[in-house]
């Protein structure tokens, strides 16, 4: 299927206006009950239908695991103490300004739809979290694109500080690197306050490895590909503990070796070690993903394995084996 490109900047502004109720500091959170996402095996819904528990145990979403199953596993704990099983409490902002066809979230949970979402304050969300038995000690602010409302992270941190919970919790912030709202809508002091929060990390997701694969994935203009690196650079320069995912679905396998070399060059132009902080993800046929497949997208799910092999070869040429053997959060 040939999809029309979206104007992701227009969508970002439009969704932000719907997502944020500034008068009482509330944000729009997706309701996960009665969604296709609910039927996926990895989804364990809690918090009255507005949260889910994400379990990290077998790491099937790592491309390295799929291509080289014999290798020792190198999961990224983002500063959390390494354990055989790690669980996080996830809340999902109810909109995203990109339309990644492989996203596991239902479309109506990505468009600030009031019929499938509800406004919550930071205090409201923490109460839902605290009322859960067997709570995780990781709170993951996800989406959608949570940085459409960067105030959400700030308000959650402030509420945890008011309750004396800073230091006992880990905060994982997801980000698709699509906009600069973190720096546009928070003051420099507020950004620094977040960057200096103990146990807080940010995960940016690079969509594709060139302009073609990026636009194929997100339906955004190909020129937006480069902006991801600019935003990652600003986040790292601000002092955040930053890690990255990358996805390798593409409609074009021509000259992939050259394209991957240039992609790793761009990562290293941000920080020499950024490729080592980056985990390529394996795209699966989630429940909602299956409804968006066509022949080209189905083929890209197969080709992503070959693309990862080329990524792996490129990193092997650039880094010593001792560094490559480390987990991303062990690389300082």
Dihedral, CA of residue 121, residue 127, residue 129 and residue 134, to nearest 10: 180
Summarize pLDDT for 143-202 with one digit per residue, the tens. 999 999 999 999 999 999 999 999 999 999 999 999 999 999 999 999 999 999 999 999
32-38 long-range contacts (CB < 8 A, ≥24 apart) are 32/92, 32/109, 35/105, 35/106, 35/109, 35/116, 35/288, 36/106, 36/286, 36/287, 36/288, 36/291, 37/104, 37/105, 37/106, 37/109, 37/286, 37/287, 37/288
Cα–Cα distances in Å, from 279 out to 38, 79, 267?
25, 15, 12
In a domain, 2, yes or no: no
Nearest to 61 by CA among 104, 90, 30: 104
Parent domain of 21? 8-330
Q: Is residue 217 part of a domain?
A: yes
Tell me if 3 is assigned to some domain: no
Q: Is residue 124 part of a domain?
A: yes
Per-residue pLDDT of the chain (332 residues; tens, 9 = 90+): 456 899 999 999 999 999 999 999 999 999 999 999 999 988 899 999 999 999 999 899 999 999 999 999 899 999 999 999 999 999 999 999 999 999 999 999 999 999 999 999 999 999 999 999 999 999 999 999 999 999 999 999 999 999 999 999 999 999 999 999 999 999 999 999 999 999 999 999 999 999 999 999 999 999 999 999 999 999 999 999 999 999 999 999 999 999 999 999 999 999 999 999 999 999 999 999 999 999 999 999 999 999 999 999 999 999 999 999 999 999 98
CA–CA distances in Å: residue 259 to residues 163, 172, 199, 207 = 49, 30, 35, 14
**146 located within any domain:** yes
CA atoms within 13 A on the CB side of 28: 23
Within-domain flag for 1:
no
Distance CA 248, CA 299 (A): 12
pLDDT of residue 3: 66
Would 208 be classed as within a structural domain? yes
Number of Cα atoms under 13 Å in the Cβ half of residue 180: 12
On whether residue 279 sits in a domain, the answer given is yes
Query: Residue 202 maps to which CATH number?
Result: 3.20.20.70
Please count the structural domains in the chain: 1
Q: What's residue 2's pLDDT?
A: 57
């Amino acid at each position: 299927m040939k999809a029309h490109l979206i104007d992701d900047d227009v969508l970002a502004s439009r969704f932000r206006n719907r997502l944020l109720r500034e008068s009482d500091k509330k944000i729009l959170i997706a309701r996960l009950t009665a969604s296709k996402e609910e039927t996926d095996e990895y989804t364990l819904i809690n918090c009255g239908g507005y949260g889910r528990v994400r379990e990290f145990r077998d790491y099937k979403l790592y491309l390295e695991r799929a291509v080289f199953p014999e290798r020792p596993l190198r999961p990224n704990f983002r500063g959390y103490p390494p354990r055989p099983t790690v669980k996080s409490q996830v809340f999902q902002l109810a909109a995203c300004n990109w339309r990644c066809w492989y996203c596991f979230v239902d479309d109506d949970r990505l468009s600030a739809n009031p019929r499938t979402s509800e406004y919550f304050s930071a205090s409201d969300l923490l109460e839902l979290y605290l009322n859960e038995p067997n709570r995780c000690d990781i709170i993951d602010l996800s989406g959608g694109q949570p940085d459409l409302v960067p105030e959400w992270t700030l308000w959650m941190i402030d509420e945890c500080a008011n309750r004396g919970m800073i230091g006992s919790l880990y905060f994982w912030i997801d980000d698709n690197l699509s906009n600069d709202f973190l720096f546009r809508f928070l003051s420099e002091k507020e950004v620094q306050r977040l960057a200096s929060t103990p146990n807080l990390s940010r995960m940016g997701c690079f969509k594709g490895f060139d302009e073609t694969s990026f636009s194929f994935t997100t339906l955004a203009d190909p020129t937006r590909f480069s902006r991801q690196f600019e935003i990652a650079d600003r986040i790292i320069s601000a002092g955040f503990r930053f890690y990255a995912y990358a996805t390798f679905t593409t409609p074009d396998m021509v000259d992939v070796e050259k394209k991957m070399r240039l992609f790793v060059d761009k990562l290293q132009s941000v920080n020499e070690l950024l490729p080592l902080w980056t985990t390529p993800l394996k795209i699966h046929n989630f429940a909602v993903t299956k409804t968006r497949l066509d022949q080209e997208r189905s083929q890209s799910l197969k080709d992503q394995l070959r693309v990862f092999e080329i990524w792996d070869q490129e990193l092997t040429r650039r880094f010593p084996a001792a560094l490559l053997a480390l987990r991303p959060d062990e690389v300082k």
